[in-house]
């Protein structure tokens, strides 16, 4: 394989890791997401600025492990989403997610033999490396299920998008808000939609738990609304306090 083709593999991994890190940092924070975002950001920077072999081997190992993890999640907990690109990757894990991750692992393996850093590849100016990079990036985007989700969102605004209640409940039950506050809840007492949000109400001790599920990006929020006998007049004039 020529140096230009090897350099293209390096550029693909740098861009994908940079996007994945950015996506995780713009998702409601949790410790594991921050760890992955930091690791991907550091690796992208090292691949861009150095030709050292160590960060390339770490990249291959991470993507090989990610392929195995995503494959396991596809059979055990597909509704949780992979979180590969943060909030955008909350969609159900299918074969496209597994194929995309495996393809990236192969690209990272090829990048191990690139003779220069990512910056050096870019410094050569437009050429074969950049052309192959754009082609491979287009293939990865076509394989990625997130691309389909983005196209659907662009075609129909979220306030006019038809979203089955079953899909909303799937997103709700896979969320960290549900894992933290939904254990032991029975059937919902109310469900309604307002523009880009669907609200699901569950009876709870001392009032109601109201879950708000975004129909735009799958974000889930939860608030506790006190029962009328347990709130004063000021509570009626204020929004529910998030849990």
Residue 159 has pLDDT above 60, yes or no: yes
| The two structure tokens encoding residue 49 | 């600025």
What is the mean pLDDT of the segment spanning 124-144?
89
* Nearest-angstrom CA–CA distance, 71 and 190: 36
The yes-or-no verdict on residue 72 having pLDDT over 50 is yes
End-to-end CA distance of the chain: 55
C-alpha 239, offset from chain centre: 29
Q: Which residues contact 143 (CB under 8 A, 6 or more apart)?
A: 96, 99, 100, 103
Token couple for 26: 């713009």
pLDDT band of residue 237 (cuts 50, 70, 90) is very low
Higher-confidence residue: 240 or 175? 175
Average pLDDT over residues 189-200: 94
Contact 92, 70 (CB under 8 A): no
Residue that wins the pLDDT comparison between 85 and 11: 11
Mean residue pLDDT across the chain: 85
Residue 92, pLDDT above cutoff 80: no
Helix then strand then coil, % of the chain, to nearest 5 = 60, 10, 25
Q: At what angle do helices 3-25 and 95-111 cross, to 10 degrees?
A: 130
31: burial class by Cβ within 10 Å (0-12, 13-18, 19+)? Answer: exposed
Asked whether residue 149 carries a pLDDT value surpassing 80, the answer given is no
The pLDDT value recorded for residue 240 is: 44
Report which of residues 23 and 231 the model is more confident about.
23
**Residue 94's pLDDT band (cuts 50, 70, 90):** confident
The rounded percent of the chain whose pLDDT value lies above 90 is 47
For 83, the token pair is 């979180």
């Amino acid at each position: 394989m020529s140096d230009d083709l090897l350099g293209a593999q390096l550029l693909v991994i740098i861009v994908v890791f940079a996007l994945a890190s950015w996506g995780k940092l713009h998702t409601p924070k949790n410790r594991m997401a921050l760890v992955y975002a930091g690791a991907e950001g550091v690796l992208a920077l090292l691949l861009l600025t150095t030709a050292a072999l160590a960060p390339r081997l770490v990249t291959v190992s991470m993507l090989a492990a990610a392929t195995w993890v995503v494959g396991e999640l596809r059979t055990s907990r597909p509704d949780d989403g992979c979180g590969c690109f943060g909030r955008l990757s909350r969609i159900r894990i299918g074969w496209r997610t597994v194929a995309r991750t495996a393809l990236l692992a192969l690209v990272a393996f090829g990048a191990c033999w690139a003779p220069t850093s990512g910056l050096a590849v870019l410094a050569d100016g437009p050429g074969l490396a950049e052309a192959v990079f754009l082609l491979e990036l287009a293939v990865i985007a076509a394989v990625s299920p997130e691309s389909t989700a983005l196209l659907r969102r662009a075609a129909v605004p979220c306030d006019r998008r038809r979203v089955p209640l079953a899909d909303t409940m799937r997103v709700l039950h896979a969320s960290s808000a549900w894992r933290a506050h939904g254990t032991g809840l029975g059937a919902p007492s109310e469900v309604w939609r307002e523009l880009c949000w669907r609200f699901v109400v569950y009876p709870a001790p001392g009032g109601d738990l109201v879950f708000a599920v975004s129909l735009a990006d799958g974000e889930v929020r939860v608030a506790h609304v006190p029962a009328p006998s347990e709130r004063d007049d000021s509570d009626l004039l204020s929004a529910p306090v998030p849990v």
